[in-house]
Structure 1
Amino acid sequence: MEDLLAARSQMALSLGFHIIFACIGMVMPFFMATSHYKYLKTGDIQQKNLTKAWSKGVAIFFVTGAVSGTMLSFELGLLWPEFMKHAGPIFGMPFSLEGTAFFIEAIALGFFLYGWDRFNKWFHWFTGVVVGISGLASGILVVAANAWMNSPAGFDYVDGKYINIDPIAAMFNDAWFTQSLHMTLAAFAATGFAVAGIHALMLLKNQNKQFHWKAFKIAIVYGAVAALLQPISGDLSAKDIAERQPAKLAAMEAHFETSKRAPLLIGGLPDEKTKEVNYAIEIPGALSFLAHGDFDAEVIGLDQIPEENHPPVLVTHIAFQIMVGLGMILVALSLLFFFSNWKKKQWQTKRWYLWLYVLATPLGFIALEAGWTVTEVGRQPWIINGFMKTKDAVTPMPGIFYSFLIFTAVYVSLSVIVTFLLYRQIKMVPETYTNDEDKPQDALIPN
């Protein structure tokens, strides 16, 4: 394996693992704060138990996210020294602010975990909210740095030098809002459905049904709302990409030839040699509308872009199709939940209903990984879009392949440990009731 491929593989592996830890770590505190609020308002002991159980999960993901994020920080400098030499002074501000948000999150989490029966109850609840807000801020700041790579701003490029640096303009580049919005909604949808799926499985196993139903409902509401908002965010992102990164949009849709009334492709396998897409379903004019809000608008194809600057079309297109397809499944399940909660509560007692959400447990994170693949692979061959190519940023140090193997072992070990810890936490859920009415009944769903 050549060094460039090894470096890219190591970065992809690191990001692929970290993004899961980070997204759960920044979303779960909001679930925790919601159940805590319900406990404070109603005195429901099951909500207190749920808050404590989720807080332990938040702590686990905070630690693993911190470890994997620290490794990523080192990798940026070790694997891409030329990139950091020029980019570091420009987009360093969001990274430094992310560090501040991380410290606030750590302090607030410590207060929350050890503040039971020590602080004023509403101050204690507020510290949990701060954990969520600071974690969310950390995620947005990191995404703003990534958005800068897609939409460089805040500097002048003269004679191969980056001068007149404006870190504020770099942080609030043209891509930061749409990319941060899309990523935040994806994190809530993925985590919401994953958590809901785990608790749905516990309901199917008839384990502490009152507890797991309350947990399921909180998680699925967050996940469903985010999933229903995501298509709107996707539309904003598509229009933004069409303007700033036409090559990425063309690769996403395997759009080889510039045309008006361009069709939107559903599925299909692009052939980069023949410039054709096989087995795709075409929706005439839909790509033009998606990109420019006009069914007759012209959409730039890969024929207008130098071939050496083409992204890998097959990988980008398939990843985009996976992201959109799974996103639509989550939208359908979101509508099913809200409809059943409104008109068909009896459905929620059925095993088939819960099995749908159990099977959906990994779908949000698969879509999340596919979306990041689109973002990163679709930008290639650039590491700084339009200014620096990835091959020019990689370290000259030999032996990156061995580093890749070591990091792979570390991340696999982290995943195994986290899975074991979470499994133990789920199995240790207390069977605590305030009165006989709170005990599990024969039905899968108590109310």
Structure 2
Amino acid sequence: MNDFIAARSQMALSLGFHIVFSCIGMVMPFFMAVAHYYWLKTDEIVYKNVTKAWSKGVAIFFATGAVSGTVLSFELGLLWPGFMKHAGPIFGMPFSLEGTAFFIEAIALGFFLYGWDRFNKWFHWFTGVIVGVSGLASGILVVAANAWMNSPAGFDHINGQYLNIDPIKAMFNDAWFSQALHMTIAAFVATGFAVAGVHALMILKGKNVLFHTKSFTIAAAFGCVAAILQPLSGDISAKDVAIRQPAKLAAMEAHFHTEKSASLLVGGIPDEEKKEVNYAVKLPGFLSFLAHGDFQSEVTGLDKIAPENHPPVAITHYAFQIMVGMGMAMMLVSVLYFLALWKQKHWLNSPWLLKLFVAATPLGFIAVEAGWTVTEVGRQPWIIYGIMRTADAVTPMPGIAYSFYLFTAVYASLAVIVIFMLYRQIKMVGTLYDKA
């Protein structure tokens, strides 16, 4: 493994772990706040127990997210000094604001965890809401920085110099809204289905059914609403990418040849040498509609883009297909769940519906990982789209492969520790909160 691939792999590994922690850290406080609100309004002890149980999960993921996020910030400077030399002064504002949001989140979480029976009950609830809002703001600000890499703005690039810097324009670049919207909804989908799936499993096992039913209802509501909305944000993102990054869209769909009324591919195995896709189901005109809102519009293919600027087609295409496939599966489960709430209430107690949620537990995070693969791999070979190549930004320091192996071991250990802590927390629910 050469140092360039090792640096990219280390960054991908770090981001792949951090994105799970950050999604849960962004969303779980809202679940917690809803359960807390129900307790304050109904005085049902089960909601207090749910709130306390979830608050411990929030604390776990806040700590792990803080550690993994700190590692990522160091890696940006250590692995990509060429990038940070020029990009730091331009897109540093969202990172600075993210630090402020993180600081507020940490204070609010401390107030919430240690404020039971010490604060006014509504002020205590409000601190939990602040944890969620500040966590969500942190996520959006980091995504804004990533969006800048896909849609650089707020400076003039003249003779290799980065001049006339406008950090506000850089932060609110053309891609920030579509990426932030898509990522935020994805976080709610992934976390909602993961949490609902865990509680559905416990209901099926007959353990603390009331506790887990209340928990399942809150998580499923968030996850299912977000899953229904996600295709709308995906449509906004696709139309945005078609304009700004035609090479990425072409790689996503393995669209080798520019044509009008372009077909949307479902599945398929790209052959980059022969410039064709085998075994795909083609939906005529749908790619044109997805990209431009018109079934007859022309969609730029990879034949109109210089070969040295082509993203890795196979990886981007497979990741996009996985993301869409997982999203459609969760949307189907959501439709069934809302149908049960509306017309078929007896389904709500049916094992088959709970088993669907159990099966869907990992789908949201698989989709999130696949989506970020599309975002990052689809931008290649650029680290700043159209301006700086990734290969020109990597550190010249040798031995990065050993750093990658070390970080792989560290993150694997962290994953085991987090899983163990969560497993112990779930088991404690049966012995602790039923006695509260």
Say whether the fold is shared (TM-score over 0.5). yes
- Find the residue that maps to 1:157 and give its secondary structure: strand
Check conservation: 1:157, 1:163, Cα contact below 8 A.
yes
Q: Structure 2 matches for 1:207-286, cutoff 5 A?
A: 207-286=207-286
Q: How much has 1:348 moved relative to structure 2?
A: 1.9
- Does 2:95 match 1:95? yes
> 1 CA distance for matches of 2:90 and 2:174?
15
Check conservation: 1:208, 1:431, Cα contact below 8 A.
no
Q: How much has 1:341 moved relative to structure 2?
A: 1.3
Q: Structure 2 matches for 1:24-103, cutoff 5 A?
A: 24-103=24-103
Aligned residue number for residue 441 of structure 1: none
Structure 2 counterpart of 1:219, which letter?
A
Identity over aligned pairs, percent: 76
> 2 CA distance for matches of 1:81 and 1:189?
35
- Find the residue that maps to 1:193 and give its secondary structure: helix
- Does 2:400 match 1:400? yes
> 1 CA distance for matches of 2:372 and 2:434?
41
> 2 CA distance for matches of 1:108 and 1:59?
11
Q: How much has 1:432 moved relative to structure 2?
A: 2.8
Q: How much has 1:431 moved relative to structure 2?
A: 4.8
- Find the residue that maps to 1:206 and give its secondary structure: coil
Check conservation: 1:45, 1:433, Cα contact below 8 A.
no
- Does 2:150 match 1:161? no
> 1 CA distance for matches of 2:329 and 2:406?
36
Deviations 1:261-287 (A, max 9, x none): 000000000000000000000000000
Aligned residue number for residue 343 of structure 2: 343
Structure 1 counterpart of 2:196, which letter?
A
Deviations 1:281-338 (A, max 9, x none): 0000000000001100000000000000000000000000000011000100111111
Structure 2 counterpart of 1:211, which letter?
F
Aligned residue number for residue 107 of structure 1: 107
Q: Structure 2 matches for 1:323-342, cutoff 5 A?
A: 323-342=323-342
Regions of 4+ moved over 6 Å: none
Deviations 1:225-262 (A, max 9, x none): 11100000000000000000000000000000100000
- Find the residue that maps to 1:279 and give its secondary structure: strand
> 2 CA distance for matches of 1:431 and 1:259?
61
Q: 2:434 aligns with which of 421, 432, 435?
A: 432
- Find the residue that maps to 2:295 and give its secondary structure: coil
| TM-score, structure 1 normalization | 0.96
> 1 CA distance for matches of 2:434 and 2:284?
58
Aligned residue number for residue 378 of structure 1: 378
Check conservation: 1:147, 1:173, Cα contact below 8 A.
yes
Check conservation: 1:24, 1:191, Cα contact below 8 A.
yes
> 1 CA distance for matches of 2:71 and 2:125?
32
> 1 CA distance for matches of 2:393 and 2:30?
38
Question: Which stretch of the first structure deviates more once superposed, 347-356 or 182-191?
Answer: 347-356
> 1 CA distance for matches of 2:37 and 2:365?
27
- Find the residue that maps to 2:116 and give its secondary structure: coil
- Find the residue that maps to 2:434 and give its secondary structure: coil
Structure 2 counterpart of 1:406, which letter?
L
Structure 2 counterpart of 1:432, which letter?
D
> 2 CA distance for matches of 1:63 and 1:431?
23
> 1 CA distance for matches of 2:419 and 2:176?
33
| Gaps in structure 2 of 5+ consecutive residues | none
Structure 2 counterpart of 1:376, which letter?
E
- Find the residue that maps to 1:428 and give its secondary structure: helix
Check conservation: 1:45, 1:432, Cα contact below 8 A.
no
Structure 1 counterpart of 2:138, which letter?
S
Check conservation: 1:241, 1:248, Cα contact below 8 A.
yes
| TM-score, structure 2 normalization | 0.99
Aligned residue number for residue 187 of structure 1: 187
Q: How much has 1:350 moved relative to structure 2?
A: 1.9
> 2 CA distance for matches of 1:408 and 1:34?
37
Structure 2 counterpart of 1:344, which letter?
Q
